[in-house]
Amino acid sequence: MDNSYVWPRPPINLELAENEIHVWRASLDLNKEILDRCASVLSQDEKLRASRFLFPGDRDHFVAARGILRELLGKYAVSPPALLQFQYGAHGKPALLTENGKSPIRFNLSHSRSLAVYGFARHRELGIDLEPIRPEFAGEAIAERHFSPRELEEWHTLTPGLRAEAFFLCWTRKEAYVKARGEGLQIPLASFSVTLTPGQPEELQSVDSARWHLHSFEPAPGYAAAIVGEEKDWRLLQWDWQP
């Protein structure tokens, strides 16, 4: 495996500084013992959600993603994972609740197939998105429906060999921005633009772009991912989650 895909294990005394965003990567394919451990820390409403999945594989991935989220949040919030409480924004964005209101620890997550990425920050909103690069999905019709005129124009300048990667760079950057704001598809996708040419710097062009910083990363071969964090004064640290 390419060395860029080897993410470090975190230090024992993990600290989340004000000027840091921590991104964790985790495989959601867990053995039964670890999956049971994840299930044991879920709340009643999470267990109910898990029970509604049609396919056992999807249910197990949800249980793993939430269990790992609780384990990681427990480290940052210094709380037993099972006692953490979430509140949900008007469009479903989860946030950590404390006795005094919203926690200073902010987070967001994304999962696809058996891979999950999590972002954590202190006192700053963030959004994260992950997608497998699927050339069969990266077609003209979908691009026209989701991309802004500026993005479409940039996409059309690319050779066919670059278009699938560019499509998912665009998609994950847009989605990470929408998730950072927490408003879901209330934000028209054509109302802001991101750059998408592979190898070129990532840039967000929106009415509030001064408020955010956008960063793309490749969490595993064949995947694209992006994170958008509030303000520009943060650095990214990446950790690998192991059961």
Ligand X SMILES: CC(C)(COP(=O)(O)OP(=O)(O)OC[C@H]1O[C@@H](n2cnc3c(N)ncnc32)[C@H](O)[C@@H]1OP(=O)(O)O)[C@@H](O)C(=O)NCCC(=O)NCCS
CB-nearer residue toward ligand X: 17 or 139 = 139
Spatial CA neighbour of 53 closest among 62, 44, 45, 42 = 62
Q: Is 62 in the site for ligand X (CB under 6 A)?
A: yes
Candidates 25, 124, 163, 174: give the one binding ligand X (CB under 6 A).
174
> Is residue 185 a contact point for ligand X (CB under 6 A)?
yes
95-114: contacts with ligand X (CB under 6 A): 108-111
> In degrees rounded to 5, what are phi and psi of residue 214?
-110, 135
* Binding residue for ligand X, selected from 93, 122, 163, 213, defined by CB under 6 A: 93
Output the smallest distance, CB 146 to ligand X, in A.
Answer: 4
Q: How many residues does the chain have?
A: 243
Residue 124 found at the interface with ligand X (CB under 6 A):
no
How far is residue 179's CA from residue 15's CA, in Å, rounded to a whole number?
Answer: 24
User: Cβ 5 to ligand X, closest distance in Å?
Assistant: 20
Q: Does the protein bind ligand X through residue 160 (CB under 6 A)?
A: no
Span near ligand X by CB under 6 A; candidates 14-22, 86-94, 157-165, 226-234: 86-94
Tell me how far, at minimum, the Cβ of 164 lies from ligand X, in Å: 14
Q: What residues are paired with 204 via a beta bridge?
A: 194
Applying CB under 6 A, does 165 fall inside the site for ligand X? Answer: no
Rule CB under 6 A: is residue 206 a binding residue for ligand X?
no
Stretch that binds ligand X, among 33-41, 171-179, 216-224, 230-238 (CB under 6 A): 171-179
Residue 129 found at the interface with ligand X (CB under 6 A) = yes
Please report whether residue 171 would count as binding ligand X according to CB under 6 A.
yes
> Do 170 and 119 contact (CB within 8 A), yes or no?
no
Smallest gap, in angstroms, from Cβ of residue 65 to ligand X?
5
- Chain positions 131 to 150 lying near ligand X, rule: CB under 6 A, are 146
Supply the minimum distance, in Å, between the C-beta of residue 192 and ligand X. 10
Contact residues: ligand X, CB under 6 A: 62, 65-66, 91-94, 108-111, 127, 129, 146, 171, 174-175, 178-179, 182, 184-185, 189
